[in-house]
Amino acid sequence: MRFYLHPINPEIRLVKQLAERLQDGALLVLPTDTVYAFVTLAQNKESVAQIQRIKDLPKNKPLTLYCRDFSQMSGYVRSQGNQLFRFLKEILPGPYTLIFDAAKSLPHYAVTKQNTVGIRIIEHALIAALLAALDLPLIGSSLDMAPEGMHDFEEIADRYESRVSAVVSCGDVPGEYSTILDVRSWPPVLVRTGLGEIPITMA
C-alpha cells in the first residue's frame, strides 16, 4: 500500500492509520530528513527480523533508534555530562546519528557488541508526528539502495511495496546519509561525514 502525506502538515487521519499499523507490528518504508528507511516500533521483533532479512544483515548488526526528544532518549542511554547536553541542543533535531553507551533497557538488536547504541532525533514532520502519536521509540535502517537513488518515490514503492505494510511519501528526501558522531567522550569523534555539518565545537 502507498500513502501520500502533506510534507509540512501530515494529515492527522493518515498519521493515525500509520501509527496503528506500527502498533500492530507493521514494517513501513518512511522518509526521514536524510534518506528513506525501513521503520518499525522498537518492540516489534518480527519486523526487525524482516529488516535484517531484506538487507541481508547479520542478526548482531544493530539498527538505529529514533527518539522523540531528549527526554525519551535519556531512557536508552547512559547518563551524559552537561557539556555534551548543551552541544546536542545546538545540533538536534537534525541529520546526525549519535553513538552512546547503551542503557540496559534496550533490546539486543539495538545494541552493538561494544554495548553502544545509535540514536537519531530526526527533523521530519512525519517522523515527529508518529513519535508523538505513539509515545514509543521507533527503530530503523536505511533502504538497501544508494542514497542518491532515493528521489523517485514511485520506483521505491514498486521495489518494496510487496515486502512491507506500506510505503509512505511525505516530501522529498535529500538522498544523503546522516553524519555519525561518537559522543561517548568529549569532544565527540566524527565517524562518518554526511548531511549534518560538523559543529564548530568539534572543528
Element (H, E) at 140: strand 138-142
Counting the structural domains of the chain, the total is 1
Residue 156 belongs to some domain of the structure:
yes
What pLDDT score does 203 carry?
A: 58
CATH number at residue 17: 3.90.870.10
Q: What is the pLDDT of residue 108?
A: 86
Q: Which domain holds residue 171?
A: 2-79+92-176
pLDDT (0 to 100) of residue 91:
94
- In order along its 203 residues, the chain shows pLDDT tens digits of 999 999 999 999 999 999 999 999 999 999 999 999 999 999 999 999 999 999 999 877 889 999 999 999 999 998 778 889 899 999 999 999 999 999 988 888 889 989 999 999 999 999 999 999 999 999 999 999 999 999 999 999 999 999 999 999 999 999 999 999 999 998 999 999 999 988 776 65
In a domain, 171, yes or no: yes
pLDDT of residue 93: 96
pLDDT for the residue 81: 82
Residue 10: predicted pLDDT: 98
Confidence at residue 52, expressed as pLDDT on a 0 to 100 scale: 93
Q: How far apart, in whole angstroms, are the C-alpha atoms of residue 21 and residue 70?
A: 25
pLDDT (0 to 100) of residue 54: 95
Cβ(47)–Cβ(54) under 8 Å? no
Supply 97's cell numbers: 546519528
Give this prediction's pTM. 0.94
Quick one: CA dihedral 100, 103, 106, 107, positive or negative?
positive
The predicted structure's pLDDT at residue 68: 96
Residue 189 inside a domain? The answer is no
Length of the chain: 203
The reply to whether 142 falls in a domain is: yes
From the list 172, 134, 158, the residue with the least C-alpha distance to 40 is 134
Q: Would you state the pLDDT for residue 58? A: 85
Decide if 75 is inside a domain.
Answer: yes
Are the CB atoms for 78 and 103 separated by under 8 Å? yes
Question: What pLDDT sits at residue 80?
Answer: 75
Q: Does residue 190 form part of some domain?
A: no
Give domain status of residue 196, yes or no.
no
pLDDT of residue 20: 98
Residue 201 domain flag: no
